[in-house]
Amino acid sequence: MDSILVRGGTELAGEIPIAGAKNACLTLMPATLLSDEPLTLTNAPRLSDIRTMTQLLASLGAEVTQLQDGQVLAMSSHDINNLTADYDIVRKMRASILVLGPLLARCGRAVVSLPGGCAIGARPVDLHLKGLEALGATLDLKDGYVHAEAKAGLKGAVFEFPLVSVGATENILMAAVLAKGTTVLKNAAREPEIVDLAQCLRRMGAQIEGEGTSEITIQGVDRLHGATHPVVPDRIELGTYMLAPAIAGGSVECLGGRMELVSSFAEKLAATGVEIEETAKGLKVTRKNGRVRSVDVETAPFPGFPTDLQAQMMALMCTADGVSVLEERIFENRFMHAPELMRMGASIDVSGGTATVTGVEKLKGAPVMATDLRASVSLILAGLAAEGETRVSRVYHLDRGYEHVVRKLSGVGASIERVHGE
């Protein structure tokens, strides 16, 4: 298995291009199932999760062609010939559940494996199922699969999510665009990925209003047509690379970065004492000298501080001046990076959903293990600030969500390399 070697202590300088958003792309790809005409996505990220979704769509009969080195995905769902999303693919990636709404809306029937447990908590899909039931689907859970049917087609309804869910909002939104009549989604997620999905669906002929607010209104249409849509920049990759100079020192300009995608995160980062500047090309982060200050963080649905940046922010807090309290409010069990950071000399006390980090002057390089996608990149960030060598193993987690991480960080001067097969 590959690992990544980081030698800390080098200040960073230069530019990092930000890719299209993994999480947006993973919901835009299943949208192809809603139409028999082609959907083309530009600015797609090159990641193993995208390959998994490609595999899943292909298993249903869709064609997905990668163009321009994978940055363009040309998709066609003209010939859907299988309505079952198999466990073997779904278990690899939870976002696979996002084919359920579109298949049901277009074909009136779908059988989708329940995604397995996940390292960052139980992560049920009950809200996806409740929302589809509200639109008139009948659901049956058998042998680990959801069997969904809407013989007479889906019907618009008013549905209020009992708690904010990004994936459930996406699934129900995609189902509702082909339902008969009006659907109103209350307490909907407001993430930029939802806004991106709504924009893409509108390009395909859907009638949607209110995306980006907690109430989305969808007027069902009979069919959708083809479209071309650029994937929104990845706000989590952006936040991750904004943290790199904050941790290692120096200055990095994140190309394509936009403040409105990361405003609450940027506010916290600025409060630690680093400079953030909006430039013509993106966002530039500079840490001149001295330690950053500790800040407290509480994760929340957008526009709050993203749970997907909690691990990376913790890496910064490990060497900050003072004590930081990090509260994880979205997922239970999302502090698996803490014991790994402690192997590098960090002082962290975890109690339930709260981690208290007392900053130390220096971290020390150590062999550490990635436990999930965001945890793995937090260990790389910590390695940038550590004395000596940090070896991060199990980097397949990283390949799911960060394209060319070694190339991007070494491009700004970090000493980092991928070691094959160890």
Query: What does the binding site for ligand UD1 look like in residue numbers (CB under 6 A)?
Result: 23, 26, 94-95, 121, 123-128, 163, 165-168, 193, 307-308, 330-331
Q: Which active-site residues does the annotation give?
A: 118
CB of 26 to ligand UD1, least distance (A): 5
- How far CA 267 is from CA of 88, 237, 239, 296, 348, in Å, comes to 42, 17, 11, 12, 23
Sign of the dihedral defined by the CA atoms of residues 209, 329, 249, 389, in that order:
negative
Q: Going by DSSP bridges, is the β-strand pair 109-113/145-149 parallel, antiparallel, or unpaired?
A: antiparallel
CB of 190 to ligand UD1, least distance (A): 11
Cβ closest to ligand UD1, residue 121 vs residue 181: 121
Which residues make beta-bridge pairs with 421?
Answer: none
CB of 415 to ligand UD1, least distance (A): 29
CB of 300 to ligand UD1, least distance (A): 9
Which residues make beta-bridge pairs with 209?
Answer: 217
Return all residues near 152 (Cβ < 8 A) that are at least 6 apart: 136
Cβ closest to ligand UD1, residue 163 vs residue 259: 163
**Token output for 56:** 């899943």
CB of 197 to ligand UD1, least distance (A): 10
Cβ closest to ligand UD1, residue 124 vs residue 352: 124
Cβ closest to ligand UD1, residue 125 vs residue 395: 125
Cβ closest to ligand UD1, residue 47 vs residue 150: 47
- Are 308 and 318 within 8 A, CB to CB? no
Q: Is 402 exposed, middle or buried (0-12, 13-18, 19+ CB in 10 A)?
A: buried
Return all residues near 260 (Cβ < 8 A) that are at least 6 apart: 192
Lay out the sheet containing 138-142: strands in order across.
84-85, 109-113, 145-149, 138-142
CB of 236 to ligand UD1, least distance (A): 7
Q: What angle do CA 226, 229, 233 make, to 5 degrees?
A: 160
Cβ closest to ligand UD1, residue 111 vs residue 236: 236
Longest distance between any two alpha carbons in the chain, whole Å: 66
φ/ψ of 61, rounded to 5, equals 110, 0
Residue nearest to ligand UD1 (CB): 167
Q: DSSP letter at 412?
A: T
